[in-house]
């Protein structure tokens, strides 16, 4: 039950190390933004650093040339430009307020920018010789996100969760959707009730897919005895395992 996290952090390359510093040297759970960067640098991490690359700058320039499309805006005008953006006109219907053209369109658009071509989340679980379990997740976040966005990576119970008495879970996918369900917390609690990892992972994914049929995501689950499994939706997922008696990792493929 020790947790450290950082979000919306710039200028520091090693986000996972920064999260560990929060866990080890503060009584907080999460630090965000430039103050998270300042804390990390003050605790010995290199920075401030320019983390832009030629590839990322070219990607950003092309996105700007394409009128900042795609992006994660909704219910705003203009829809095909780089802004500034304004809310669509509200329509009053009885005692309810609706935004024009919103409900069905927004449900269909969920996860439209998340797929295996633009995803970079790494989630890992480690067992030590004493049976203690640690988990960690690191990600650059969604491409073309709105500045200030924090996804599921640093949210305990969403992208990762562990309990020495039960097991652990890691997740990847559409973080804006997944964090609403805390799927890894759900997996660990299901395993606590005696549900095997395969069914626990499948159940957590199914709960999300039932509400968001266009969602893209995956989960791996491992119990305290080392039994592991994965579940996914919207893509074919792979995870790797290495045990103390193995010479190399073994890759497992999970199909939707």
Per-residue model confidence (pLDDT) at position 115: 53
**Mean pLDDT of all residues in 212-226:** 96
Which residue matches tokens 């090693």? 14
**Mean pLDDT of all residues in 2-29:** 96
Residue pair 29/5 in contact by the 8 Å Cβ criterion? yes
Residue pair 217/208 in contact by the 8 Å Cβ criterion? yes
Report the alpha-carbon distance of residue 249 to residue 239 in Å, rounded.
10
**Mean pLDDT of all residues in 241-247:** 92
Report all structural domains of the chain as residue ranges with CATH numbers, in order of start.
5-42 (no CATH), 54-109 (no CATH), 122-254 (3.60.20.30)
Per-residue model confidence (pLDDT) at position 120: 74
Q: How many CB atoms lie within 10 A of CB 22?
A: 22
Query: Does 188 score more than 60 pLDDT?
Result: yes
pTM of the model: 0.86
Which residues carry out catalysis?
121
Query: Does 199 score more than 90 pLDDT?
Result: yes
Nearest to 145 by CA among 222, 245, 60: 60
Tens-digit pLDDT profile for residues 95-129:
555 544 444 344 444 444 555 455 578 999 999 99
- The CA-CA-CA angle for residues 213, 7, 50, to 5°, reads 115
Tens-digit pLDDT profile for residues 120-169:
789 999 999 998 999 999 998 888 999 999 999 999 999 999 999 999 99
Query: HSE on the CB side for 104, CA within 13 Å?
Result: 1
Q: What is the mean pLDDT of the chain?
A: 90
Q: Where are the alpha helices (DSSP H) in the chain?
A: 15-25, 33-42, 54-65, 103-109, 175-178, 183-192, 197-211
By percentage, how much of the chain surpasses pLDDT 70? 88
**Mean pLDDT of all residues in 192-219:** 97
Per-residue model confidence (pLDDT) at position 103: 43
Q: For residue 89, name the pLDDT band (cuts at 50, 70, 90).
A: confident
**Mean pLDDT of all residues in 12-20:** 95
């Amino acid at each position: 039950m020790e947790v450290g996290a950082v979000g919306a952090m710039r200028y520091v390359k090693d986000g996972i190390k920064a999260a560990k510093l929060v866990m080890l040297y503060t009584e907080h759970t999460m630090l965000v933004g430039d103050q998270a960067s300042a804390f990390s640098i003050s605790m010995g991490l290199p920075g401030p650093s320019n983390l832009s690359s030629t590839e990322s700058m070219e990607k950003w320039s092309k996105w700007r040339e394409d009128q900042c499309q795609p992006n994660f805006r909704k219910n705003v005008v203009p829809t095909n430009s780089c802004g500034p953006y304004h809310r669509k006109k509200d329509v009053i219907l009885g005692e309810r307020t609706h935004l024009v053209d919103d409900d069905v369109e927004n449900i269909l658009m969920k996860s439209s920018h998340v797929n295996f071509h633009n995803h970079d989340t790494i989630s890992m679980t480690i067992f030590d010789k004493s049976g203690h379990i640690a988990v960690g997740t690191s990600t650059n976040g969604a491409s073309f996100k709105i500045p200030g966005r924090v996804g599921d990576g640093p949210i305990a119970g969403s992208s990762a969760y562990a309990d020495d008495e039960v097991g652990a879970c890691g997740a990847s996918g559409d973080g804006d959707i997944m964090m609403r369900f805390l799927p890894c917390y759900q997996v660990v609690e299901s395993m606590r009730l005696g549900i095997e990892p395969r069914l626990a992972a499948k159940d957590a994914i199914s709960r999300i897919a039932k509400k968001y049929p266009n969602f893209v995501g995956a989960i791996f689950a491992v119990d305290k005895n080392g039994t592991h499994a994965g579940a996914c939706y919207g893509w074919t997922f792979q995870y790797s395992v290495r045990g103390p008696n193995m010479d190399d990792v073994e890759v497992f493929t999970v199909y939707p």
